């Protein structure tokens, strides 16, 4: 038998090895072993009715010819649904850390928790050091629990995709888009755009479900919370927030935001052409 095998050409051996029968019998596969990263606790946040526990996610504004578009960073408070949107040309450490600092400062109350999915843009030592310096607890989504970050993901569609669409916006426009978010979109969605408030109803059989009977703006939800003054950031008062909410009606704020959005998109289209 060995004499016969000695006369087989190398090409024939490679043909045997490429056959399906050979691969089924001799190829073994090993599943990918995840590398544990000791950053953030893998659990659902427990705000217990307190504002300041954020759900955060990134939204990519498309590719064109292999070139990445801008990224939106969306942060939503779990209790009040207060939402801050920002834009950055990249999600590398150089761009993301200063953006996160500015984003956290736009919330009127002290931030206590920071929950994200397991993406490397947030689960890294640089972000962990920033949150540790600010005394913010970092948590991350659990495996096979797709609803852990569902609040911010629903806002990605209802706010960012609704107003910014799905089309490509080049990274060079990130500063203009971020300015639009700060001046127009964020004030509009927090002071003038009502959102549904979930109410947990428990049935006699023990099942619990959410019903939506109440609609209110994030500012109204926050102002109706007991002792709403206590979680405010230093230098921010309820009188200041109330005064700002009354500078425009809901309709006037929406018209101004839409006008600014049309100007932004027109400028982007002009530079693209």
Number of Cβ within 10 Å of residue 79's Cβ equals: 18
Phi and psi torsions of 208, nearest 5°: -120, 140
Q: What is the pLDDT of residue 199?
A: 85
Contacts of 264 (CB under 8 A, 6+ apart): 176, 177, 180
Q: What is the pLDDT of residue 219?
A: 97
Q: What is the pLDDT of residue 227?
A: 84
Q: What is the pLDDT of residue 34?
A: 64
Q: Residue 199, exposed/middle/buried by CB under 10 A (0-12, 13-18, 19+)?
A: exposed
Q: What is the pLDDT of residue 241?
A: 95
Band (pLDDT 50/70/90 cuts) for residue 40 is confident
Q: What is the token pair recorded at 169? A: 């916006």
Phi and psi torsions of 211, nearest 5°: -125, 150
- Residue keyed to tokens 């932004």: 264
Q: What is the pLDDT of residue 22?
A: 74
Q: What is the token pair recorded at 222? A: 């926050």
pLDDT tens across 136-181, in order? Answer: 999 999 887 878 888 999 999 999 999 999 999 999 999 999 999 9
Mean pLDDT of the chain: 90
Band (pLDDT 50/70/90 cuts) for residue 273 is low
Residue 17 reports pLDDT greater than 80: no
CA-based nearest residue to 80, from 134, 161, 155: 155
CA-based nearest residue to 263, from 255, 81, 108, 64: 255
Task: Count CA atoms closer than 13 A to 57's CA, side-chain side.
Answer: 20
Instruction: List the single range of 34-48, 122-136, 222-236 with lowest mean pLDDT.
Output: 34-48
pLDDT tens across 100-114, in order? Answer: 999 999 999 999 999
Q: What is the pLDDT of residue 270?
A: 83
pTM recorded for the entire structure: 0.84
Note whether 85 and 185 are within 8 A (CB). yes
Instruction: List the single range of 8-22, 36-50, 100-114, 179-193 with lowest mean pLDDT.
Output: 8-22
Paired residues of 63 in beta bridges: 68
- Which domains, and CATH codes, for the chain? 41-272 (3.30.420.10)
Higher-scoring residue by pLDDT: 108, 46 = 108
Distance (Å, rounded) from C-alpha 53 to C-alpha 110?
9
Q: What is the pLDDT of residue 116?
A: 94
Q: What is the pLDDT of residue 189?
A: 97
Band (pLDDT 50/70/90 cuts) for residue 44 is confident
The whole-number average pLDDT for the span 262-271 is 91
Q: What is the pLDDT of residue 262?
A: 96
The whole-number average pLDDT for the span 244-259 is 96
Phi and psi torsions of 10, nearest 5°: -65, -40
Band (pLDDT 50/70/90 cuts) for residue 190 is very high
Task: Count CA atoms closer than 13 A to 263's CA, side-chain side.
Answer: 10
The SS3 of residue 135 is coil
Q: What is the pLDDT of residue 263?
A: 96
């Amino acid at each position: 038998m060995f004499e016969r095998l000695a006369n087989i050409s190398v090409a024939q051996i490679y043909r045997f090895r490429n056959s399906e029968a050979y691969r089924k019998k001799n190829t073994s596969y090993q599943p990918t072993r995840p590398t544990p990263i000791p950053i953030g606790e893998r659990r659902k946040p427990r705000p217990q009715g307190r504002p300041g526990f954020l759900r955060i996610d990134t939204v990519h504004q498309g590719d064109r010819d292999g070139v990445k578009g801008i990224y939106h960073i969306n942060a939503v408070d779990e209790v009040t649904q207060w939402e801050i949107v920002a834009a950055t040309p990249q999600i590398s450490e150089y761009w993301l850390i200063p953006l996160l600092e500015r984003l956290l400062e736009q919330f009127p109350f002290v931030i206590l928790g920071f929950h994200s999915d397991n993406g490397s843009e947030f689960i890294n030592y640089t972000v962990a050091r920033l949150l540790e310096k600010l005394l913010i607890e970092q948590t991350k989504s659990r495996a096979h629990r797709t609803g852990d970050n569902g609040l911010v993901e629903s806002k990605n569609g209802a706010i960012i995709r609704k107003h910014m669409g799905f089309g490509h916006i080049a990274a060079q426009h990130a500063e203009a888009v971020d300015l639009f978010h700060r001046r127009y979109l964020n004030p509009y969605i927090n002071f003038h755009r009502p959102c549904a408030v979930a109410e947990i109803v428990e049935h006699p059989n023990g099942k619990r479900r959410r019903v939506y009977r109440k609609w209110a703006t994030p500012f109204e939800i926050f102002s109706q919370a007991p002792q709403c003054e206590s979680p405010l950031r230093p230098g921010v008062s309820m009188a200041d927030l109330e005064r700002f909410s009354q500078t425009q009606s809901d309709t006037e704020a929406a018209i101004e935001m839409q006008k600014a959005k049309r100007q932004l998109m027109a400028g982007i289209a002009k530079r693209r052409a």
